[in-house]
């Protein structure tokens, strides 16, 4: 079940840790992605212009020569990538439009969409998280198009994330869309903040899960596990 605590409940506890400890751990402050109240005061085009200017400054501080043909377009390319691609999930306007259909097949068993490949980014170091998500639900009378399951996973992945929050955000979205508690989400992912820096462990993976409704029953959980291992 969801045990997320609101931001105000965790801020004081978080202040007892250094940013290095927070960055190497899996602290996260709530179910919602931390956003400023004025997050959308600028248009996407204005954001891209500002990001390009700021990223150019970062490159210059690192000593890179932006007059080089290979580098001079990088700030704009990065800005476009941030807004239109890898962080597009920060903008609610990009949320997938979902249409539901009557369950005319009278299929009342679990439906699983497995091995949904996604790319996200760790909010502590802004390096990639690469993983697969498995989403299961039991219809309460409506069904969702299969491709929309993938799109919803991608939407929440395309923002700075921690894997625990990503798992819960996906589960809560499907609970709301499908009007059911019978939702299960499993995510297996590699974090480049673990494999490419710090401990530099390239073999480990992180597994998170959300299980609700009928999936909490031992027999349903066993059926789900067997299906995922098929």
28 catalytic residue (yes or no): no
Active site residue 125: yes
Q: Which of 134, 154, 161, 191 is catalytic?
A: 191
Out of 124, 172, 173, 214, which one is annotated catalytic? Answer: 124
Active site residue 123: yes
3-state secondary structure 185-214: EEEEEEEHHHHCCCCCCCCCCEEEEEECHH
Of these residues, 4, 26, 113, 125, which one is catalytic? 125
**Catalytic one of 169, 173, 193, 214:** 193
Instruction: Give catalytic status of residue 134 as yes or no.
Output: no
User: Is 169 labeled as catalytic in the residue annotation?
Assistant: no
CB 183 within 8 A of CB 105: no
- Cβ pair 177, 100 in contact under 8 A: yes
Would residue 163 show up in a list of annotated catalytic residues for this protein? yes
Of the residues 123, 164, 172, 173, only one is catalytic, namely 123
Neighbours of 9 (CB within 10 A): 11
Catalytic residue, from 28, 154, 161, 163: name it: 163
Spatial neighbors of 32 by CB under 8 A, at least 6 apart, are: 7
Q: Is 26 a catalytic residue?
A: no
Helices (H) and strands (E) in the chain, counts: 8, 7
Active-site positions read 122-125, 163, 191, 193
């Amino acid at each position: 079940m969801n045990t997320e605590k609101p931001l105000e409940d965790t801020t004081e506890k978080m202040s007892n840790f250094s940013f290095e400890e927070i960055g190497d751990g899996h602290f996260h402050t709530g179910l919602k992605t931390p956003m400023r109240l004025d997050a959308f005061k600028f248009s996407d085009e204005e954001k891209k212009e500002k990001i390009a200017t700021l990223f150019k400054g970062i490159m210059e501080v690192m000593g890179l020569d932006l007059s080089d043909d290979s580098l001079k377009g990088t700030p704009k390319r990065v800005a476009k990538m941030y807004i239109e691609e890898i962080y597009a999930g920060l903008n609610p306007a990009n949320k997938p439009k979902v249409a539901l259909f009557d369950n005319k097949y009278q299929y009342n068993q679990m439906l699983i969409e497995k091995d949904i490949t996604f790319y996200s980014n760790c909010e502590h170091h802004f390096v990639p998280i690469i993983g697969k998500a498995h989403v299961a639900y039991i219809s309460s009378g409506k069904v969702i198009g299969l491709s929309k399951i993938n799109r919803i996973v991608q939407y929440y992945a395309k923002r700075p994330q921690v894997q625990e929050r990503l798992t819960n955000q996906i589960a809560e979205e499907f609970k709301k869309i499908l009007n059911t508690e019978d939702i299960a989400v499993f995510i297996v992912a590699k974090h480049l903040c673990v494999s490419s820096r710090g401990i530099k462990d390239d073999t480990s993976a992180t597994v998170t899960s959300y299980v609700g409704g009928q999936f909490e029953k031992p027999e349903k959980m066993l059926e789900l596990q067997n299906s995922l291992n098929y």
